Amino acid sequence: MEIIKPTTAKDRIILALDVDSTEEVIKYVDLLKDYVGFFKVGLQLFTSCGYKSVEVIKEHGGKVYFDGKFQDIPNTVAQTCINLLKHGIDFFNISATGSSKMMTSTLDACNEYAKKNEIAPPIILAATLLSSFGQKTLTNELGVEMNISEYALKLARIAKESGLSGVVAPDTDAEKIKKELGEDFIVVCPAVRPTWAIVNDQIRIVSPSDAIKAGADYMVIGRPVTLAHDPVAAAKLIITEIEEALILKEKGI
């Protein structure tokens, strides 16, 4: 699957399916497939339903983004990602902190598998830092003295040099990443919350407008839609906010 720049506001939305059953997956895919670009399968859903969750999304007309943030020795991550390709997942991420060797080994192995099996090469992103991280966690617990945004930019730079297609990074980092690494380098913005939504457990959160202004190509939104009284209405509100932000950006406002 070739990931190109999204052409509509709804294409930019990746809906996080942080649920525990295929019944819930079917409910949200049937309800929202016309209002979002991708459905995110993360660790919660995958450890509950496995590849069945992926099959169900595709069977009901949705597209899959796999959020595993894999980090292990290079061979293990490479073979793990090949397993994703075997199940038709071609848009996913691994952890940028796993090293350039892990990233290049994974990319090379996946491209070789894709070529051998005559399928499209995968779109592999590098997750920089978790949206639950703040400067205090980075410095006091991980011992990294660098400013958190500069550290994320460094990880993004390593990811691009390793050949990956883009990164998962918040809007506070997206603008710098786009400026230094180019407009074609994909940025998926996590932890996006409309202004009317509850923050929950994220620290570095942004609004859809913020993400667009910073240059993000895609944004991950979950609970503000899935927990809404009317998920379709919530999705439509987000689409409207994205459309308005795109108009302002085009005008340079």
**Cα→Cα distances 57→17, 53, 87, 125, 212, Å:** 10, 6, 12, 21, 27
- Give the count of domains, the chain: 1
Encoded amino acid at 218, one letter:
Y
In a domain, 1, yes or no: no
In a domain, 125, yes or no: yes
In a domain, 99, yes or no: yes
Q: pLDDT tens for residues 194-203?
A: 877 755 545 5
Segments of 96-242 assigned E as strands: 123-127, 166-168, 186-189, 218-221
In a domain, 174, yes or no: yes
Domain of 100, CATH number, reads 3.20.20.70
> Which residues form the catalytic set?
69
* pLDDT the model gives residue 198: 54
Residue with tokens 């883009």: 166
CB burial of 33-72 (b: ≥16 within 10 Å; e: otherwise) equals: bebbbbbbbbeebbeebeeebbbbbbeeebbbbbbbbbee
CB distance 1 to 25 below 8 Å: no
Q: pLDDT tens for residues 39-55?
A: 999 999 999 999 999 99
In a domain, 3, yes or no: no
Q: pLDDT tens for residues 1-26?
A: 556 678 899 999 999 999 999 999 99
In a domain, 5, yes or no: no
Q: In the predicted model, what is the mean pLDDT of residues 22-40?
A: 98
- Expressed as residue numbers, the domain containing 124 is 10-250
